[in-house]
Structures are given as C-alpha cells and as structure tokens.
Amino acid sequence: MAEIVVIMGGCSSEREVSLRSGAAVAEALRRNGFAVRELDLVREELPAGLDAARDVVFPVLHGGFGENGGIQSLLERGGFAYVGCDSVSSALCMDKLATKRVVGAAGVNVAPQYELRADYVQHDAGAIVAELGEHIVAKPSCDGSSVGLSFISGAEELRDWLARPRRGAWLLEKRICGHELTCGLLGGAAMGIVEIAPASGVYDYASKYTPGSTNYLFPAPITEESAALVRRYSELAFAACACRDFARADFILPEGGEPVFLEINTLPGMTATSLLPKSASCIGLTFEQLVARMLAPALERFPAIV
C-alpha cells in the first residue's frame, strides 16, 4: 500500500495558503483511510527521504516552483507517481499569456490583452488604452492568488504604472465587468460553477483568503445557456493545455454576453474558503470525496499498484 506524501509550503508568495491547503488535504486523506506523511517544502528541490517505490506524492503548492512545472519535472525524473498536471502542462498554465494563446486557438473566448515582457516604460500608454479601452487590469503573467493585481483607468494612470520598477512578464487586459465565475474540473469533466461576489468589488488576495469578505454562490445563479458555455469552455481549456487529473478555470460573464476565459489553475487552493471544493459540492462531492477523486489517477499510475 502506497504512502501518500503531501508536499506543502514552498517558497512562493503563497506559502501560507499552501500550508493551510496541505493540512486540509492531509486530514481528508487520513479520514479516507490513507497513510499520510506531510512535508513542508522550504527549498526548491525534492525533500529528502522520498521513495518512488513507496510514495505517491500529492503536491499542494501554489505559485512558483509548485505550479510552474519545477517540482513536477523533478518528480518525473525521479520516477514518482504524483497528483495533478505534468511538468509541461503545469509550465504552460502558469504563464497566463501563453495559456490564453493556446486556449483562444481552441475556440474559447478570451479577453483582449497586451503583453509586457521588458522595458515597460518604453510602451506607449496612449496606444495601449486605444487598443484595450480606458479600463485595464494589470497582473503578473506567472503568479497567482491575485498577487500584484492592479486596476488602471486611463492613459495617465497607465503611464504612472509603467514607470514603477517591476520584473518579469506582465499582462494587461481589457477590464470586463460582470459575474466572476469559476468551474472546477475532474479528469477533464466540468463540475459546478461558482460565482464569486467580493464585498469590496475586487477579488484580490485579501478577498480570497479573509473569511467573510467574499460571498460565494454555488451553483452560480446564471442561465443554463451561460452555464453550459462555461462548462464547455472549461473542458476545451483543460484539453487544449493537456491538463490531467483536475484543474479550475476562471471566467467573467458580462451582462448579455458570453463567458470570457481568464486563466486555468492547475493546483487550486484547498482551504476552507477555496473554490474547487465549492465547485465539487455542486455535483454532490464532499471535501473528503473530492480529495480521494483527485488522488485516484495517481494511484493508478503508481507502479506498485496492480
């Protein structure tokens, strides 16, 4: 019988959330009867003591090394069975710019965007506003949990934003107002749709992880036509990005329009306020049942199981 090793923590800006998610997953696995070991990752390397002949790894790492394919690549080289998307799919989905290109090519509706990769101050703020409109959302291409999220109105604000020091690739998107929606997926099949209604009007880091600051409606009170399109787009995005096991796709549904894809998350949060468990509850899955379903494909991949 395999031992399940839950790896949590990590070195990203989302370390504390990962620790909470990992503890919740480990407890759910124990309630399902699995032997579980918890490891707090403090360096970007595989923890000592892992054994591919004994252990199935359940990464619960958010951002950086956990979601960009780093730990997945090391697990693959070590011959480990592990939960979630492989290294190639993880790296793709961590890059919002690349993901939107792939998903858009698959026929999914995506928001107009502008890419920033270097020399930000050299970009023409007026031209960007002419292309995207007065209201713009700025976010890092390769980070999560709304880290660095900014809302910009007009060319003057955009010039100020561009002049501030920053590193890495950034994404500017046309700001689309409407219902904020997310849809969980298991094995490529869409689960329930959750509507996110933050009290502040902005679903930022604080709104995500402060209990009571956001109202969640699940299933989302949208038309069946819109819900069917969200589910279809979610499954298309999952397939286009070659995801496996599970993921979560995020959308905006403007009034009178069709859903607009934002991003896909390959290692969604699993805390008390997290969205994937809410999505799963819409199809009758408890938290413990969801975690067991997330683990099941990795157990099938485990070489010691026949």
Q: Kindly list the catalytic residues.
A: 14, 145, 209, 248, 250, 263, 265, 269
Determine contact, residues 69/94, Cβ cutoff 8 Å: yes
Determine contact, residues 92/239, Cβ cutoff 8 Å: no
C-alpha of 180 from chain center: 14
Q: Is 190 left (phi over 0), alpha (psi -120 to 50) or beta?
A: beta
Determine contact, residues 169/191, Cβ cutoff 8 Å: no
DSSP assignment of 5-16 equals EEEEE-SSTTHH
Determine contact, residues 209/147, Cβ cutoff 8 Å: no
Q: Is 9 left (phi over 0), alpha (psi -120 to 50) or beta?
A: left
The residues facing 136 across adjacent strands are: 152, 174
